[in-house]
Amino acid sequence: MQVITSKDNELVKNIKKLKEKKYRDSTGKYIVEGIKMIEEAINEKAEIESIVICEDCIKDGSIDKKLMYEIAKLNCIYVTSKIFGLITDVSNPQGILAVVKRNINNQKINYEEDVIIVLDGIQDPGNLGTILRTVDSANLKQIVLSKETADVFNSKVVRSTMGAIFRLNIIRSDDLVADLLKMKKNGYGVVVTALDTDDSVYDIDYMKKAIVIGNEANGVSKEVQDIADNKVKIPMLGKTESLNASVAAGIMVYEYVRKKLGK
């Protein structure tokens, strides 16, 4: 087993570059880290270019034998713990990461789904990853992101999706208003959260809706609010005036789930 020991190794330098958005964009690749996430990537048949393993992981047996068998079928690279420390983005790494190619084959919106979740300027990586995980849990298959939304292939976002990133068609919109107007032409009503309304998230039908979740600080942009069919708010009984964006998304997604199960 050959082990890479030099930080000047070309492969090591390229993996380190994937911490930068511009390099992820130019190569169409991103990093997945941790045993569970790599197991999810393999199970979901993600396009894994290579797997990097810290030699200590082999020695201590922390990776399950069944998973090691699957990993052995792929392009495996072994590095010292010192080198792994240079490429990991985690404070307490598990000693294994993968370089995965983005799925760019399908960037078209599927108008057959009951609900389309749209993110308008979400900035926090934790919020973004949690929303992807919530969308996946409701068995929805796509999510549309405005160009102002944070990079979905940021390592923190990827980790917080808990594998949902491999199951969702992630569509980046260059013109969110134009794409929402196309959704309307295809029979979807546009729903936004807003404070200047008396309508509750519990008052509307969620079938064939594009649900827009807005920026953490400023909410849904005015341009999107202007074309909305429904403005709704989440009723609050306490003094708090607004909720975390991922919590708000979860409430609305699961109101759709509740009504779908009720039917």
Mean pLDDT, residues 128-149? 96
- pLDDT given at position 172: 94
- pLDDT given at position 67: 86
Do the beta carbons of residue 220 and residue 166 sit within 8 Å? no
**pLDDT over threshold 80, residue 3:** yes
- pLDDT given at position 136: 97
User: Could you tell me the CA-to-CA distances from 8 to 12, 15, 86, 98, 172 in Å, in that order?
Assistant: 7, 11, 11, 19, 34
**The whole model's pTM is what?**
0.91
Q: What is the per-residue DSSP string for 226-254?
A: TT-SEEEB---SSS-----HHHHHHHHHH
Query: Is residue 41 one of the residues assigned to a domain?
Result: yes
- pLDDT given at position 61: 66
Query: Is residue 106 one of the residues assigned to a domain?
Result: no
Give the domain-ending residue among 67, 101, 135: 101
- pLDDT given at position 198: 86
Total tally of structural domains belonging to the chain: 2
Mean pLDDT, residues 182-198? 93
Give the domain-ending residue among 32, 66, 101: 101
Mean pLDDT, residues 134-159? 96
- pLDDT given at position 1: 62
User: What rounded mean pLDDT belongs to the chain?
Assistant: 92
Same domain for 152 and 54? no
Cα 15 from Cα 10, distance rounded (Å): 9
User: Could you tell me the CA-to-CA distances from 253 to 92, 131, 191, 213, 219 in Å, in that order?
Assistant: 33, 10, 12, 11, 17
| Structure confidence by residue, pLDDT tens digits, 78-117 | 999 999 999 998 888 889 999 999 987 667 899 999 999 9
Highest mean pLDDT among 63-67, 71-75, 227-231, 242-246: 227-231
| Sign of the torsion formed by the C-alpha atoms of 31, 133, 178 and 195 | negative
35 confidence band (pLDDT: 50, 70, 90)? very high
Q: What is the CATH number of the domain that holds 133?
A: 3.40.1280.10
Query: Is residue 107 one of the residues assigned to a domain?
Result: no
Same domain for 185 and 147? yes
Give the domain-ending residue among 101, 129, 150: 101
* Position with higher pLDDT, 41 vs 105: 41
Same domain for 96 and 122? no
Which residue range forms the structural domain that includes residue 66?
A: 3-101
Mean pLDDT, residues 196-203? 89
Mean pLDDT, residues 7-31? 94
